[in-house]
Amino acid sequence: MSDFETNNNDMRLKPYRKDFTYSYSCGVFPTIELITSRPEEVIKLIITEKGLSNSGVLKLMTIAEEKNIPYVIDNKTAERLYPKENSYAIGAFRKYTCTLRSDKNHIVLVNPSDKGNLGTILRTLTAFGIEDIAIITPAADIYDPKVIRASMGAVFKTRFQMFASFEEYLNSLADTVQRDYYPFMLNGQPLETAQKQPGNVFSLIFGNEASGLDDSFLSVGTPVRIMHLDTVDSLNLTIAAAIGIYNFTQGAFQK
Amino acid sequence: MSDFETNNNDMRLKPYRKDFTYSYSCGVFPTIELITSRPEEVIKLIITEKGLSNSGVLKLMTIAEEKNIPYVIDNKTAERLYPKENSYAIGAFRKYTCTLRSDKNHIVLVNPSDKGNLGTILRTLTAFGIEDIAIITPAADIYDPKVIRASMGAVFKTRFQMFASFEEYLNSLADTVQRDYYPFMLNGQPLETAQKQPGNVFSLIFGNEASGLDDSFLSVGTPVRIMHLDTVDSLNLTIAAAIGIYNFTQGAFQK
């Protein structure tokens, strides 16, 4: 694990595993997001020969030079890391940790299990101006390249923090502003009737894909539900999160 | 292709291909939706031995008996069709066609390319009471088992119709009610400012995952956009569709 600390440039990068201290962005767009938002964590960039005629790759190389980030043209390593992807660019980066800001809006995901879902939710919340996400473990590995890919690199623009329980999350918060909690549950009140309180910040809380939130969340803040027909059992988690986030930020981006 | 018409019960089912005249639902929940909503199209049900202790499978077998739908316990066929799935139940069904209703709300997807996205959108529109979906080809194959799986079987509750062009879709509609068209485009007006007209029906139009809608849609009805920060390039198609559908049906399901 420590070999890249001591021997950074010569390290042999391996296909991602959860126990690694580093991970990868794969693809031009996520890698531009990586070196733009988290340049200090980049170990190196790998560019493939066929990417050299791509305008996004040229942009990537320009940013890398400005930021003194090393890059190599290395088809073999790209092929070894992503045999099926045929990708133009890969960014290797050190895993880093963040701390949530107590005075900002939060999304709280309780035990999200699907990497694609986690990435899509990161992309959605970033689009609507939320930058802080709490993840209650066990959960999908946020550093996994599949999460990064599904987020289109939005993960690098967020602050994420893992907690072993919802209580641990609550205890981590400073009491500087009034915070309203909205667990999304099948037996909550209709979402449309829950109005955001001016001046307060909010935490929107979503459960696991299969099991949702357990009844203990009925006593947390204002439980809400997205009204829909019972023609489907439930909404996809990414869809529920998007509707919830849109509802609470709607109108904030009118020009 | 015609072999199952002439020799229905003895046909040897093969892993799905787009040119087949039949397809499969895989998994207990989608298969319950199949035999509940489209019993006349079911060829047969395949149940695996380990499914026999599952309550969903028992429900499935009860419905099948009520509707005189044949089922077999057949681990080998299930394994051959879905080697990785370890599934409890599979439903083989004849592909069928539907006709959109001219007096109902529509979703129009122009060249959707991802099977998972198409299925997720089917699930979302069903949840919010829209049952008619137009698909402008080329497009992902709506009969593909991956679409059916992603829809959780909601596809069987919808009417879907494929058109070679948007013009062909327009020409197919009877003029019985006033219809308002809302293409979702980056240069449309803010979604929040577009109010549904009472008494009219609507068509919400979404473009391809990568390319969106081309500029020809600027002259179609009222182009709208979902306002978001430029921190992300665009929203995921399933997310944009969900926010659009929710916005136009919001409040319709309050009790």
Residue B6 predicted with pLDDT over 50: no
Tell me, what DSSP letter sits at residue B138?
S
- A181 phi and psi, to 5 degrees? -105, 130
DSSP E strands, A86-158: 89-94, 106-110, 132-136
Distance CA B141, CA A74 (A): 37
Distance CA B71, CA B234 (A): 46
What are the residue ranges of helices labelled H in A143-220?
A: 145-150, 166-172
Q: Which residue has the tokens 């996400």?
A: A133
pLDDT tens-digit map of B33-85: 999 999 999 999 999 999 999 999 999 999 999 999 999 999 999 999 988 77
Residue A167 predicted with pLDDT over 80: yes
Q: Would you mind telling me the total number of residues written for chain B in this entry?
A: 255
**C-alpha angle A13-A18-A24 in degrees, rounded to nearest 5:** 45
pLDDT tens-digit map of A185-200: 999 999 988 878 888 9
**If we measure between CA atoms, which residue out of B183, B189, B135, B137 comes closest to residue B159?**
B135
Average pLDDT score over residue span A45-71: 94
Residue A25 predicted with pLDDT over 60: yes
Distance CA A243, CA B238 (A): 11
CB B100 within 8 A of CB B170: no
Look up the pTM and report it.
0.91
Residue A41 predicted with pLDDT over 90: yes
pLDDT of residue A7: 43
Q: Which amino acid is at B231?
A: T
**C-alpha angle B104-B109-B111 in degrees, rounded to nearest 5:** 150
Q: Which amino acid is at A219?
A: S
pLDDT tens-digit map of A13-22: 899 999 999 9
Within 8 A of A152 by CB-CB distance, chain B residues are 232-233
Distance CA B228, CA A253 (A): 6
- The per-residue DSSP string of B84-135 comes to TT--SEEEEEE-------TTS-EEEEES---HHHHHHHHHHHHHTT--EEEE
Residue A166 tokens read as 């919802």
| B122: closest chain A residue by CA | A232
Decide if B229 and A152 are in contact by the 8 Å CB cutoff: no
Q: Which residues contact B87 (CB under 8 A, 6 or more apart)?
A: B26, B27, B48, B51, B78
Give the HSE-up count for residue B150: Cα atoms under 13 Å, Cβ half-sphere: 22
Residue A254 predicted with pLDDT over 70: no
DSSP E strands, chain B: 22-26, 42-47, 71-73, 89-94, 106-110, 132-136, 159-163, 179-190, 201-206, 224-225
- State the pairing for strand pair B89-94/B22-26: antiparallel
CB A126 within 8 A of CB B229: yes
Decide if B129 and A251 are in contact by the 8 Å CB cutoff: no
Within 8 A of A226 by CB-CB distance, chain B residues are 246
Distance CA A45, CA B60 (A): 52
Under the banding of pLDDT at 50, 70 and 90, the label for residue B252 is low
Does residue B253 belong to the interface with chain A, where contact is any CB pair within 8 Å?
A: yes
Least-confidence region, from A32-36, A129-133, A232-236: A232-236
Decide if B253 and A127 are in contact by the 8 Å CB cutoff: no
Tell me how many residue pairs between chain A and chain B have CB atoms under 8 A apart. Answer: 95
Within 8 A of B157 by CB-CB distance, chain A residues are 231
**If we measure between CA atoms, which residue out of B216, B237, B217 comes closest to residue B226?**
B237
pLDDT of residue A1: 41
Does residue A243 belong to the interface with chain B, where contact is any CB pair within 8 Å?
A: yes
pLDDT of residue B250: 79
